[in-house]
Amino acid sequence: MTVNRRTFLRSAALSAPVLSCSPCFNHLLAAPRDAAPQPPHRFEFIRKSNGNVPKYCALPTLSDTDRKRDEQKEALEVGLEGHELPEWLRVLDPHREHMTILHGISMCVSGGGHYSFSGCMGAYKAGRNVLSGIKRTTVDFELARMFPSPFGHVEVSLASAGSGVSFRQGIVAGFSAPAPHQRNYCYADPMTAWNELFKSVTNTAAVDSDNTLLDYLQEQEGQRLAGVNGLERDKITNHLDSLQSVRQRNDQVSALKSKISTHLPAIDPVHADGGPNATIVEKQEAFTEVIAAALISGLTNVVTYTIDDLGTPITTLPGNNGRIDLHRLGHNAGTDQELRDIVKASHMAQVNTLINRLKAVPEGAGTMFDNTTIIYLPETGAGHHGPDTEAPMVVMTGANSRLDLAGRYIRLPFHATEGHQTLSNWYTTLLNAYGNPIEHYGDLDLEMSRRRIRQTGAIQQFLS
């Protein structure tokens, strides 16, 4: 369901009893209150549908010995230097020193199937993402709290409206989770994201109007506290805190107006009114520009991007010519490598643009990309319906990364064997590396538990 921003703000703010169980009002609009460290580290998670078929992620120039180990899913680590990349990854060849092709992380903790919903970001099985199935704060929100910004976490989605022939528009339900049993909202089209993220520059009248509304609502809710006790008082107090957080966020964004103006992206008129006639590449390119500008302007340090789902229309993708949709492509996992590569290459083109944008911005003794990590991951493991025993990823890390894995092709021990690492271990590693000392993030793998194989903690070989 598409939500109009003003309707969303007004209805949520006027309904304190509902707010306590409503999806993420406080986390979509509210900003963390602590000052961000300088420079912050930035993260972009790019979720893709249909899994990542391991053989299509292999280096074509591995030696016979290494190829045999790779095919047998034995532990392997090879430097990328001197090797040819898979064709769909070659646009990133200029950045190969920052690249990791990572095999062997399993997703059994979040499950395969058509969708993992919030599970692939929280390392739990989410069912159909009903509120009761959202078990914990997802890793992207955890990282956003460690590197505060006015918007905290930003989620965008290039997903279908359900018919398989059109894209969603406006503000819609997302997949990340700011807290247990809370669902995030996301921007479903580039124009909505542009309007919402940059309105302190593009629509100052709307900001002034929102602030007037927020001040009025704060006054009204404050009056309601008189004579109210117990649970009802707690609800109203939480509501007031939410309104105050939105107001503070608006003030923080206003302080960035000059920087936002400098980096404000141009957006093509084709994206007006949700961009119903925009091609998939036009939408990808516009979202990339919006994401880059939001990161560069300091509006956010963490972005999660669902770059496609099984219904995302790819009929306008060059090289496809309308011959197949993503859902049917998923069922042809072993017979249509060419189109799978075309789809992934279109994703990598956007990663390349983002890296180049961030490398062009000085920061400290280097560039913004030095303080950036991009993780391209399948939401359902190795294929359309899994298997979820492995989930090949591409990780791009800047020079100041606290992860020791760049410039390598890495295969970890296979699922349910000694030394295997799960999605939970991977996210524990990210959190530990950047300052959260959590002993273990995410669920335990049932098969690993059954075999009594150690599976808690970070992946120590990746911690620099």
Mean pLDDT of 186-197: 95
User: The tokens 């516009």 sit on which residue?
Assistant: 286
Joined tokens for residue 399: 């020079």
Cβ neighbour number for residue 233 with a 10 Å cutoff: 13
3-state secondary structure of 303: strand
3-state secondary structure of 292: helix
Residue 163 has a pLDDT of 53
Evaluate if residue 293 carries a pLDDT over 70: yes
Residue 12 has a pLDDT of 40
**Region at 104 (left for phi over 0; alpha for psi -120 to 50; beta for the rest):** left
Evaluate if residue 212 carries a pLDDT over 90: no
> 375: part of which helix (H) or strand (E)?
strand 372-378
Work out whether strand 302-306 and strand 99-103 pair parallel, antiparallel, or are unpaired. unpaired
CB 364 within 8 A of CB 84: no
In angstroms, how far is CA 292 from the centroid of its own chain?
14
Task: Report the candidate in 276, 307, 318, 297 with the shortest Cα–Cα distance to residue 191.
Answer: 276
Confidence of residue 159 (pLDDT cuts 50, 70, 90): confident
User: The tokens 């302190």 sit on which residue?
Assistant: 200
Task: Give per-residue pLDDT as tens, 310-341.
Answer: 888 888 888 876 667 777 777 765 557 888 89
Please state, rounded to an integer, the average pLDDT across all residues of the chain. Answer: 87
Residue 328 has a pLDDT of 74
3-state secondary structure of 340: helix
> What is the distance between the alpha carbons of residues 108 and 16, in angstroms, rounded to a whole number?
38
Fold of 31-192+278-462: Alkaline Phosphatase, subunit A (3.40.720)
CB 344 within 8 A of CB 88: yes
Q: Burial letters for 258-283: b for 16+ Cβ neighbours within 10 Å, e otherwise?
A: eebeebbbebeebbeebbeebbbebb
Sheet with 99-103, edge to edge strand ranges: 76-79, 408-411, 99-103, 393-397, 372-378, 42-48, 302-306, 153-157, 185-187, 171-173
> What is the distance between the alpha carbons of residues 391 and 410, in angstroms, rounded to a whole number?
12
Task: Give per-residue pLDDT as tens, 76-105.
Answer: 999 999 999 999 999 999 999 999 999 999
pTM of the entire structure? Answer: 0.88
Range of 163-167, 238-242, 272-276, 459-463 with top mean pLDDT:
459-463
User: The tokens 């807290």 sit on which residue?
Assistant: 179
Task: Report the candidate in 166, 184, 167 with the shortest Cα–Cα distance to residue 175.
Answer: 184
Please state which of the ranges 25-34, 41-50, 356-365, 402-411 shows the lowest mean pLDDT.
Answer: 25-34
Task: Give per-residue pLDDT as tens, 224-237.
Answer: 787 788 877 777 77
3-state secondary structure of 382: coil
Residue 19 has a pLDDT of 32
Task: Give per-residue pLDDT as tens, 41-61.
Answer: 999 999 999 889 999 999 999
**Region at 164 (left for phi over 0; alpha for psi -120 to 50; beta for the rest):** left
Mean pLDDT of 61-69: 97
CB 463 within 8 A of CB 404: yes
Evaluate if residue 178 carries a pLDDT over 50: yes
Which has more pLDDT, 249 or 147?
147
Name the DSSP class of 386: B
Residue type, 25: F
3-state secondary structure of 428: helix
Residues 6+ apart with CB under 8 A from 113: 380, 385, 386
CB 405 within 8 A of CB 397: yes
> What is the distance between the alpha carbons of residues 38 and 58, in angstroms, rounded to a whole number?
37
